[in-house]
Protein backbone atom coordinates (compact mmCIF):
# COMPACT_ATOMS: atom_id res chain seq x y z
CA UNK A 1 0.00 0.00 0.00
CA UNK A 2 2.83 2.35 0.90
CA UNK A 3 4.44 1.77 -2.53
CA UNK A 4 1.19 2.66 -4.26
CA UNK A 5 0.92 5.97 -2.36
CA UNK A 6 4.55 6.84 -3.12
CA UNK A 7 4.00 6.03 -6.81
CA UNK A 8 0.87 8.20 -7.02
CA UNK A 9 2.65 11.11 -5.33
CA UNK A 10 5.63 10.71 -7.69
CA UNK A 11 3.37 10.76 -10.74
CA UNK A 12 1.58 13.86 -9.42
CA UNK A 13 4.89 15.65 -8.82
CA UNK A 14 6.18 14.81 -12.31
CA UNK A 15 2.91 16.02 -13.84
CA UNK A 16 3.09 19.27 -11.85
CA UNK A 17 6.68 19.78 -12.94
CA UNK A 18 5.73 19.18 -16.59
CA UNK A 19 2.85 21.67 -16.40
CA UNK A 20 5.06 24.29 -14.73
CA UNK A 21 7.84 23.90 -17.32
CA UNK A 22 5.37 24.25 -20.18
CA UNK A 23 3.79 27.32 -18.57
CA UNK A 24 7.03 29.10 -17.71
CA UNK A 25 9.09 27.75 -20.61
CA UNK A 26 6.58 28.87 -23.25
CA UNK A 27 7.55 32.53 -22.89
CA UNK A 28 11.24 31.70 -23.29
CA UNK A 29 10.48 29.72 -26.44
CA UNK A 30 8.45 32.59 -27.92
CA UNK A 31 11.16 35.13 -27.14
CA UNK A 32 13.83 32.81 -28.59
CA UNK A 33 11.83 32.41 -31.78
CA UNK A 34 11.43 36.19 -32.11
CA UNK A 35 15.20 36.68 -31.68
CA UNK A 36 15.93 34.00 -34.30
CA UNK A 37 13.51 35.59 -36.79
CA UNK A 38 14.98 39.06 -36.12
CA UNK A 39 18.48 37.74 -36.75
CA UNK A 40 17.30 36.06 -39.96
CA UNK A 41 15.80 39.32 -41.25
CA UNK A 42 19.02 41.24 -40.54
CA UNK A 43 21.27 38.54 -42.02
CA UNK A 44 19.20 38.27 -45.21
CA UNK A 45 19.17 42.05 -45.63
CA UNK A 46 22.96 42.13 -45.20
CA UNK A 47 23.28 39.47 -47.88
CA UNK A 48 21.11 41.46 -50.29
CA UNK A 49 22.99 44.69 -49.51
CA UNK A 50 26.32 43.00 -50.22
CA UNK A 51 25.05 41.66 -53.53
CA UNK A 52 23.67 45.11 -54.37
CA UNK A 53 27.09 46.66 -53.65
CA UNK A 54 28.68 44.22 -56.10
CA UNK A 55 25.98 45.09 -58.64
CA UNK A 56 26.73 48.80 -58.20
CA UNK A 57 30.46 48.20 -58.68
CA UNK A 58 29.75 46.53 -62.02
CA UNK A 59 27.16 49.12 -63.14
CA UNK A 60 28.78 52.54 -62.68
CA UNK A 61 27.49 53.03 -59.16
CA UNK A 62 23.81 52.39 -59.92
CA UNK A 63 22.15 50.04 -57.46
CA UNK A 64 19.78 47.32 -58.60
CA UNK A 65 16.08 48.05 -58.69
CA UNK A 66 14.96 44.65 -57.41
CA UNK A 67 16.14 41.36 -55.93
CA UNK A 68 15.29 39.21 -59.01
CA UNK A 69 17.79 41.19 -61.10
CA UNK A 70 20.45 40.42 -58.48
CA UNK A 71 19.62 36.73 -58.85
CA UNK A 72 19.57 36.81 -62.67
CA UNK A 73 22.88 38.69 -62.66
CA UNK A 74 24.45 35.97 -60.47
CA UNK A 75 25.00 38.33 -57.54
CA UNK A 76 22.74 36.10 -55.42
CA UNK A 77 22.26 32.38 -55.93
CA UNK A 78 18.60 32.70 -54.86
CA UNK A 79 16.36 35.36 -53.41
CA UNK A 80 16.37 35.12 -49.60
CA UNK A 81 12.93 34.19 -48.28
CA UNK A 82 11.91 35.99 -45.10
CA UNK A 83 10.81 33.77 -42.22
CA UNK A 84 7.21 32.70 -42.72
CA UNK A 85 6.48 33.34 -39.05
CA UNK A 86 6.78 37.11 -39.60
CA UNK A 87 4.02 36.83 -42.22
CA UNK A 88 5.45 39.33 -44.70
CA UNK A 89 2.83 41.46 -46.45
CA UNK A 90 5.10 42.06 -49.44
CA UNK A 91 6.22 38.80 -51.06
CA UNK A 92 9.91 39.58 -50.57
CA UNK A 93 12.45 42.26 -49.82
CA UNK A 94 12.03 45.61 -51.59
CA UNK A 95 15.07 47.58 -52.68
CA UNK A 96 15.24 51.36 -52.45
CA UNK A 97 15.87 51.80 -56.16
CA UNK A 98 18.84 52.79 -58.29
CA UNK A 99 19.84 55.70 -56.03
CA UNK A 100 20.21 53.89 -52.71
CA UNK A 101 21.12 50.60 -51.13
CA UNK A 102 18.21 50.36 -48.70
CA UNK A 103 16.20 47.22 -48.21
CA UNK A 104 12.77 46.99 -46.61
CA UNK A 105 9.94 44.55 -46.10
CA UNK A 106 6.44 45.13 -44.74
CA UNK A 107 5.42 42.71 -42.00
CA UNK A 108 2.10 41.71 -40.52
CA UNK A 109 1.08 43.14 -37.17
CA UNK A 110 1.59 39.67 -35.72
CA UNK A 111 5.34 40.19 -36.15
CA UNK A 112 5.47 43.01 -33.60
CA UNK A 113 7.57 40.93 -31.19
CA UNK A 114 10.08 40.25 -34.01
CA UNK A 115 10.32 43.97 -34.73
CA UNK A 116 10.91 44.65 -31.07
CA UNK A 117 13.81 42.19 -31.13
CA UNK A 118 15.19 43.78 -34.32
CA UNK A 119 15.27 47.12 -32.51
CA UNK A 120 16.98 45.50 -29.53
CA UNK A 121 19.70 44.25 -31.91
CA UNK A 122 19.91 47.67 -33.58
CA UNK A 123 20.19 49.89 -30.52
CA UNK A 124 20.59 47.48 -27.62
CA UNK A 125 18.56 47.55 -24.45
CA UNK A 126 15.20 46.01 -23.80
CA UNK A 127 12.34 45.36 -26.23
CA UNK A 128 10.06 48.30 -26.77
CA UNK A 129 7.34 49.23 -29.19
CA UNK A 130 8.80 50.05 -32.61
CA UNK A 131 9.12 53.79 -33.23
CA UNK A 132 6.57 55.52 -35.43
CA UNK A 133 9.11 56.76 -37.99
CA UNK A 134 12.26 55.26 -39.48
CA UNK A 135 15.34 56.30 -37.52
CA UNK A 136 17.88 58.01 -39.78
CA UNK A 137 20.88 57.23 -37.58
CA UNK A 138 20.35 53.44 -37.50
CA UNK A 139 21.69 50.93 -40.00
CA UNK A 140 18.66 48.69 -39.52
CA UNK A 141 15.50 48.56 -37.46
CA UNK A 142 11.72 48.41 -37.46
CA UNK A 143 9.15 51.15 -37.43
CA UNK A 144 5.39 51.32 -37.44
CA UNK A 145 3.57 54.22 -39.07
CA UNK A 146 0.13 54.83 -40.55
CA UNK A 147 1.39 54.88 -44.16
CA UNK A 148 3.70 51.86 -44.27
CA UNK A 149 2.53 49.79 -41.33
CA UNK A 150 5.06 47.56 -39.59
CA UNK A 151 8.25 47.77 -41.69
CA UNK A 152 11.74 46.33 -41.32
CA UNK A 153 14.51 48.39 -42.99
CA UNK A 154 18.23 47.96 -43.63
CA UNK A 155 20.62 50.58 -44.99
CA UNK A 156 23.51 48.97 -46.85
pLDDT in tens, 14-35: 998 888 877 776 666 666 788 8
More confident residue, 43 or 83: 43
pLDDT digits (tens, 9 = 90+) for 57-102: 998 888 888 889 899 988 999 999 888 877 788 778 888 866 778 8
Q: Are strands 149-155 and 140-145 parallel, antiparallel or unpaired?
A: antiparallel
Question: Residue 139 to residues 23, 59, 64, 109: CA-CA distances in angstroms?
Answer: 37, 24, 19, 22
Burial letters for 102-112: b for 16+ Cβ neighbours within 10 Å, e otherwise? Answer: bbbbebeeebb
The one-character DSSP state at 102 is: E
* Three-class SS state of 28: helix
Instruction: Enumerate the domain spans of the chain.
Output: 2-155
Amino acid sequence: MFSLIVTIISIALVAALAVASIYYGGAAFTQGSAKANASALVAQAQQIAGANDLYANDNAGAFSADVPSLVSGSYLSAAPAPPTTVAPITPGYVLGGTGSNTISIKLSTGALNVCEEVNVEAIGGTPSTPPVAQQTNQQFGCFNDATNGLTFFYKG
